Amino acid sequence: MRIDIITCLPRLLESPFNDSILKRAQDKGRVEVYIHDLRDYSTDKHKKIDDYAFGGGAGMVMMIEPIDRCIRELKSSQSYDEIIYMSPDGQQFSQSMANELSLKKNIILLCGHYKGVDERVREHYITREISIGDYVLSGGELAAAVVADAIIRLIPGVLNDETSALTDSFQDGLVAPPVYTRPAEYDGLKVPEVLLSGHEKKIEEWRFEQSVKRTKQRRPEKE
């Protein structure tokens, strides 16, 4: 899979992709992530990528031209399954959306800033808009990193068995059961007996019961 992220603040995206699972996924060749600086596509001598809003009002608007030039250049080398704009009023991101997107070949994530992008970009270039929740961030970079992370860890071969995505919350419609590690007793606080029993079937049943119980308590709407 290939993910191209378009941003006017590329530095904000450096560290999320240069550590841990996301870095290993790239090193193993499971995913290619390219970060494109919108300013490189500006024809303005000051590398301007935004301007005042028509009609007035506070806040700058990201111009159509640099975005168009960047998308055009990317599309000249490969086709894209989705061109996604990160937006607080987009479709709310979920595990099922992450699953669906992890099956795509090439996607673009466009990060907005300031007041967002010129509406004509959204109308004519974007195939989908995703929000990571009903709150407003200062830019789309953190949202794009969240979406890319959730997608990349689902690509086959990215996680090993130990960290398998299949046992994570929401993957089967349930939240994950509680987990414990050594020591078995700490300052009088004990780990549930069954987990120390070595009885695989009982452990599996206990985990399932806990998942169901937690889902009822924490995400009753998922039942």
Q: Which residues bind ligand SAH (CB under 6 A)?
A: 86-89, 111-113, 115-116, 131-133, 135-137, 139-140, 143
Closest CA to 130 of 152, 115, 114, 145: 145
- Give the residue at shortest CB distance from ligand SAH: 112
Q: Least Å distance between CB 49 and ligand SAH?
A: 13
Q: Least Å distance between CB 164 and ligand SAH?
A: 28
Residue 204, phi-psi category: left (phi > 0), alpha (psi -120 to 50), beta (remainder): alpha
Nearest residue (CB) to ligand SAH, 6 versus 159: 6
Q: Least Å distance between CB 33 and ligand SAH?
A: 18
> For 184, which DSSP code?
S
- Do 42 and 49 touch, CB atoms closer than 8 A? yes
Long-range contacts of range 58-62, CB-CB < 8 Å, 24 or more positions apart? Answer: 58/115, 59/114, 59/115, 60/114, 60/115, 61/114, 61/115, 61/116, 61/117, 61/118, 62/8, 62/38, 62/112, 62/113, 62/114, 62/116, 62/117, 62/118, 62/121
Q: Least Å distance between CB 113 and ligand SAH?
A: 5
Nearest residue (CB) to ligand SAH, 141 versus 206: 141
Nearest residue (CB) to ligand SAH, 60 versus 176: 60
Q: Least Å distance between CB 129 and ligand SAH?
A: 8
Nearest residue (CB) to ligand SAH, 10 versus 210: 10
Nearest residue (CB) to ligand SAH, 16 versus 116: 116
